[in-house]
Structure 1
């Protein structure tokens, strides 16, 4: 498994640093910026499901 520095994540995903940091710190999210999550998943070479837990009502 590759260890990424935060700067690498920001640079590769094109997402502003404050957004990536806020996602990493949240324990729970009610909404998500899908384009940002998509970019992050592509940069990290993982699926969106690897990054988020999808809850159904």
Structure 2
């Protein structure tokens, strides 16, 4: 199983957004976003949530996801 992380913090900083802004713009629960940001590596996430976050940033899923280990 591979590990990855979501580049939420970097993308938010580039836009000058807080995690609360990202939550509001994406419709994703703030606590969910916060848990994704705080973990060094993820192995599962809800794909619908990832798509919502990517749309909020106007990026592709590939630009949002950083593969750490395949």
Q: TM-score, normalization: structure 2?
A: 0.69
CA RMSD of aligned residues (A): 1.8
User: Which structure carries more relative contact order (alpha carbon 8 Å, separation 6+)?
Assistant: 2
Unaligned runs of at least 5 residues, structure 1: none
**CA distance in 1: counterparts of 2:69 and 2:21, whole angstroms:** 33
Point out the structure with the larger strand share.
Answer: 2
3-state SS in 2 of match to 1:53: strand
- Is 1:8 the counterpart of 2:21 in the alignment? yes
Partner residue, 1:49: 62
**Deviating 4+ runs (over 2 angstroms):** 53-57
The aligned residue for residue 44 of structure 2 is 31
Residues 1-56 of structure 1, C-alpha deviations (whole Å, 9 max, x = no match)? 42112221111100000100011111111111100010000001111112213478
User: Normalized against structure 1, the TM-score is what?
Assistant: 0.82
**Aligned residue-pair number:** 57
